Amino acid sequence: MTSSVSSEAAIVCADAQMPRSADDQLCDLWISILKELAPKLQRSLFITWFKDTALLQRDGGTLVVGLPLPMALNWHMEHYRGDTLAAAQLVDSTVKKIVYQVDGSLKDNKERTVDLLILFPEQRRRKLPGRQEVKLAEGIVSKILAPQYTLDNFVVGNNNRLAHAACQSVASQPGQKYNPLFIYGGVGLGKTHLLQATGNAILKQMPRAAVVYTTTEDFTNQVVEAIRSQKMEQLRRRYRSVDVLIIDDVQFLANKERTQEEFFHTFNALYEERKQVILSADRPPQELQLEDRLTSRFERGMIADISVPDYETRLAILTEKAREYELFIDMAVLQFIAEHTTRSVRELEGILMQAVAQYELEQRMPTVKSIAEIMQKLSKDPYAREEQTGFEHQPKRASTFQDVLEEVSRYYSVSVNDMLGASRVREVLIPRQIAMYLGKTYLRFSFVRLGEVFSNRDHTTVMNAVRKIEQKMQDDAQLLREVRAIAQELDFGR
């Protein structure tokens, strides 16, 4: 475990009253340097790579930095030497050089190293109410477009070239050429990414445009609510005032006649005013089983599909994602992932995220072997190795944390929202702790990440919760059985 927090952490290396020893001075200098460095690096990486480091020696202008593991040596030399030197020079301009020395005794040595978790506490992000949504003019609500989805960081391959080009064209001339634009393809192949990226691109050029991105589910809910409160006219008016309407996953319009009807009218109104409409679904329009008039509207515009990426594209996507996560992974490892993960891009990303977790938890550089282990754990089921496009017959897949939440919620009849929220009643508390325990034990989520999921709780809170459940399970056979049953349902069985 890497993230335990000790109350008597060695933040201050020596008592201020005592005469300063040479070691104390080195320690203080190192802390000053770390303080310059920390804001320049992503926090998780900073903690991973600077944990258990120390300034061992100073020889004129040369600083000898001690590293706890041989593995860290190359990494520091390649990635952090320049930054470390620059930071050191800000603190003391006579420093000229950084050299490294591996010293195994630094590992977990509280006396000689600095407790980074205490010295550099996580800046808690403040959760704003309704953060997921933004209100546009006239009461129109759009989901917030995720800024990380751009057309530039969407990797283009044979599987998605047409869809990407169409989005680019729409982004530069919304409402002009391809209207509506209909993108279809299997789960996790990049539809949402493209739709949001297009919205982002339009907003970049026209910041004042009313760009609405919504899911079919949300749209349906609004229609239902408007019918209930007899405000249908108002809803219509609102939607007709948008400039660009983006609706994700329209396959969910099937069997919702009233929503289809509303959508049809909205669509026509926007279309006639040459406002851009962008849609996605998991299959082509004619297979959606919608009203004919709606299907034919969709077919009137541009239809582009996204299919499963080939090996080269998968590798390119992995490389791009690793770059975005500031993750330095051996090419052989990326190639291995690309070779063996064929179903969807989301799956590719999932494996990469596991590698990140491994980094954070164990300070282990992912290797082909460790990745192979992760992949094996994730795909115990017989479908896993088959190539699947991801739609129609959805293959059984490894459980995600959402599955954990849903399974625990089902088992104890407590809502997911309650589990994620603040309630302290026992009926909610225990399921919450169990969900955290499962996430930690089976999905190898870090305490920090779990804390974020559970309404930005502090990671120590999560740590205590997990410990508590572990302890309770030792004395309470009933609880142990329950947790085992849930784990089994989730296919986590040992």
> Is position 336 an interface residue for ligand ADP (rule: CB under 6 A)?
no
List the one residue out of 471, 472, 447, 441 whose CA is nearest residue 461. Answer: 447
**Which string of DSSP letters, residue by residue, matches 133-151?**
EEE-GGG-EEEPPPTT--S
Half-sphere exposure of 343 (CA within 13 A, CB side): 21
Site string for ligand ADP, 116-155 (x = CB under 6 A): --------------------------------------xx
Rounded Cα distance between 360 and 446, Å, is 7
> Is position 203 an interface residue for ligand ADP (rule: CB under 6 A)?
no
The torsion angles phi and psi of 193, rounded to 5 degrees, stand at -55, -50
Q: Which of residues 160, 358, 399, 409 is near ligand ADP by CB under 6 A?
A: 160
> Is position 350 an interface residue for ligand ADP (rule: CB under 6 A)?
no
Pick the stretch among 57-65, 96-104, 221-229, 343-351 that binds ligand ADP (CB under 6 A): 343-351
Paired tokens of 141: 């609500």
Decide whether 194 or 333 has the Cβ nearer to Mg ion: 194
Pick the stretch among 21-29, 187-195, 266-274, 329-337 that binds ligand ADP (CB under 6 A): 187-195
Residue of closest CB approach to Mg ion:
192
List the one residue out of 329, 442, 45 whose CA is nearest residue 320. Answer: 329
Decide whether 247 or 277 has the Cβ nearer to Mg ion: 247
**Which string of DSSP letters, residue by residue, matches 416-479?**
HHHHHS----HHHHHHHHHHHHHHHHTS---HHHHHHHTTT--HHHHHHHHHHHHHHHHH-HHH
Quote the least distance from Cβ 203 to ligand ADP, whole Å. 18
Would you say 301 and 182 are in contact if contact means Cβ atoms under 8 Å apart? yes
Interacting partner of 13 out of Mg ion, ligand ADP, none (Cβ under 5 to 8 A depending on kind): none
List the one residue out of 428, 423, 436, 431 whose CA is nearest residue 467. Answer: 436
> Is position 216 an interface residue for ligand ADP (rule: CB under 6 A)?
no
Decide whether 68 or 157 has the Cβ nearer to ligand ADP: 157
Q: Which of residues 33, 187, 244, 357 is near ligand ADP by CB under 6 A?
A: 187
List the one residue out of 349, 331, 338 whose CA is nearest residue 314. Answer: 338
Q: Which of residues 51, 112, 193, 432 is near ligand ADP by CB under 6 A?
A: 193
Decide whether 194 or 434 has the Cβ nearer to ligand ADP: 194
> Is position 189 an interface residue for ligand ADP (rule: CB under 6 A)?
yes
Q: How do strand 62-67 and strand 97-102 relate by DSSP bridges?
A: parallel
Quote the least distance from Cβ 159 to ligand ADP, whole Å. 8
58 pairs with which residues across the strands? 63
Q: Which of residues 211, 244, 338, 345 is near ligand ADP by CB under 6 A?
A: 345
Decide whether 191 or 240 has the Cβ nearer to Mg ion: 191
Would you say 355 and 374 are in contact if contact means Cβ atoms under 8 Å apart? yes
> Is position 191 an interface residue for ligand ADP (rule: CB under 6 A)?
yes
> Is position 261 an interface residue for ligand ADP (rule: CB under 6 A)?
no
> Is position 346 an interface residue for ligand ADP (rule: CB under 6 A)?
yes
Rounded Cα distance between 78 and 68, Å, is 17
Pick the stretch among 117-125, 181-189, 215-223, 399-407 that binds ligand ADP (CB under 6 A): 181-189
Q: How do strand 97-102 and strand 133-135 relate by DSSP bridges?
A: unpaired
With vertex at residue 436, the alpha carbon angle to CA 433 and CA 439, rounded to the nearest 5 degrees, is: 150
Interacting partner of 188 out of Mg ion, ligand ADP, none (Cβ under 5 to 8 A depending on kind): ligand ADP
Quote the least distance from Cβ 150 to ligand ADP, whole Å. 10
Quote the least distance from Cβ 189 to Mg ion, whole Å. 9
Pick the stretch among 70-78, 133-141, 188-196, 463-471 that binds ligand ADP (CB under 6 A): 188-196
Residues that bind Mg ion (CB under 5 A): 191-192
Token look-up 């169409």 returns: 166
Decide whether 154 or 445 has the Cβ nearer to ligand ADP: 154
SS3 for 157-201, per residue?
CCCCHHHHHHHHHHHHCCCCCCCCEEEEECCCCCHHHHHHHHHHH
Quote the least distance from Cβ 195 to ligand ADP, whole Å. 8
Quote the least distance from Cβ 126 to ligand ADP, whole Å. 25
Q: What is the amino acid identity at position 11?
A: I
Paired tokens of 54: 């120390």
Q: How do strand 211-215 and strand 244-248 relate by DSSP bridges?
A: parallel
Q: Which of residues 53, 84, 142, 192 is near ligand ADP by CB under 6 A?
A: 192
Binding region for ligand ADP (CB under 6 A)? 154-155, 160, 185, 187-193, 317, 320, 345-346, 349
